A and B are shown apart, each in its own frame.
Chain A
Amino acid sequence: MDFFSDGLLKWQDIFRPLAAALGAKPHTLVRWFDTNTFFRAPEISGRVATLAHPDGVVPDGSVPRPRVTTLPSPYMFSRAAHTDQARNQLMVALAEQVLRPAADAAVAAGSQLIHLEDPWLGYSGIAREDWAPLGEALKILHRDLKAKLVFHVYFGDAGPHIDHLLKLPVDVVGIDLIETELNALGSGWDKGLVAGVINGRSSILESLENTVEVARHLADRVQPRDLYLSSNCELGYLPTGVAEQKLQRLGEAARRVRELVSV
Chain B
Amino acid sequence: MTADLNHKALLTHEIGSLDKPGWRVKAYAGKPLGEADFEEARSWGERLTVPDYKKLLDLLHHAPFDKGQKAEIQRWSSLYALRLEESAGLDVVYDGEQQRTEMYDWAVNHTNGFERRGSVRAFDNKYYSKAAVVGPISLRSPFHNAEFAYLESVADAELKIPVTGAYTIADWSFDERYDVDTDLREPAPERRRKRKAARRDFVLEVARNLIRPNLEALIGLGARWIQVDEPGASTEADELDLFVDSFNASVEGLNAMFSTHLCFSDYNLFFPAIERMSQCRQYAVGFANYDSRELGTSDEARPGYQVIKKFRDLAYKPALGLGVLDIHSDFIESPELVRDRVLYAVKVFGDPGRIHVTPDCGLRTRSWKVAYEKLRNMTAGVELAREALRL
Contacts and interface: CB of A to CB of B under 8 A. Distances in A.
Interface of A: 12-13, 28-31, 34-40, 157, 159, 177-182, 184, 197, 199, 202-204, 206-207, 210-211, 213-214, 217, 236-242
Interface string B173-214: 011100010111101110110000000000000000000000
A242 B118 contact: yes
B304 to A, nearest CB: 9
A69 to B, nearest CB: 20
Contact of A238 (B120, B123, B175, B236): B120
A182 B185 contact: yes
B189 A181 contact: yes
Nearest to B168: A36
B118 A240 contact: yes
A7 B18 CA distance: 31
A240 B119 CA distance: 8
A35 B176 contact: no
Interface residues on B, range: 35 or more
B319 to A, nearest CB: 25
A241 B174 CA distance: 14
Interface string B228-240: 0000101111000
Interface in B110-125: 117-125
A23 to B, nearest CB: 18
Contact of B117 (A28, A34, A177, A203): A203
Nearest to B174: A203
B172 interface: yes
Interface in B123-160: 123-125, 130, 132
B203 to A, nearest CB: 14
29 contacts: A12-B125, A28-B289, A28-B290, A31-B235, A34-B236, A36-B171, A36-B172, A36-B235, A37-B122, A38-B122, A157-B188, A159-B188, A179-B192, A181-B187, A181-B189, A199-B182, A202-B174, A202-B175, A203-B132, A203-B174, A203-B176, A204-B176, A206-B182, A210-B185, A236-B120, A236-B121, A239-B120, A241-B118, A242-B117
Contacts of A28: 289-290
B264 interface: yes
Given A36-B172, A203-B176, A29 B182 contact: no
B265 interface: yes
Given A204-B180, A242-B117, 14 more contacts: A13-B123, A29-B289, A30-B264, A35-B235, A36-B235, A37-B122, A40-B124, A179-B188, A184-B188, A202-B174, A204-B176, A206-B182, A210-B185, A241-B117
B7 interface: no
B317 interface: no
A148 to B, nearest CB: 24
Contacts of A204: 174, 176, 180, 182
A213 B185 contact: yes
Contacts of B265: 31
A197 B123 contact: no
B328 interface: yes
Q: Which 8 A-B pairs have the closest CB atoms?
A: A239-B118, A38-B123, A203-B174, A181-B188, A206-B182, A12-B124, A34-B236, A214-B184
Given A179-B188, A242-B118, A29 B123 contact: yes
A210 B183 CA distance: 6
Nearest to A179: B188
Contact of A38 (B172, B176, B264): B264
Contacts of A213: 185
A150 to B, nearest CB: 20
Contacts of B290: 28
A215 to B, nearest CB: 10
A13 to B, nearest CB: 8
Contacts of B236: 34
A36 B122 contact: yes
A82 to B, nearest CB: 10
A37 B125 CA distance: 11
Interface centre among A13, A34, A206, A211 (most CB of B within 10 A): A34
A181 B132 CA distance: 27
Contacts of B237: 34
Contacts of A180: 188
Contacts of B176: 203-204
Contacts of A35: 235
Given A28-B290, A203-B174, A239 B188 contact: no
Contacts of A184: 188
Contacts of A203: 117, 132, 174, 176
Contact of B130 (A13, A157, A159, A239): A239
B200 to A, nearest CB: 16
Nearest to A32: B123
Contacts of A29: 123, 264, 289, 328
Nearest to A36: B172
Given A28-B290, A182-B185, A203-B174, A37 B118 contact: no
Nearest to B360: A29
Nearest to A177: B184
B118 A36 contact: no
Interface string B263-307: 011100000000000000000000001100000000000000000
Contacts of B184: 177-178, 182, 197, 210-211, 214
Contacts of A40: 123-124
A203 B180 CA distance: 10
Nearest to A205: B182
Interface centre among A40, A184, A210 (most CB of B within 10 A): A210
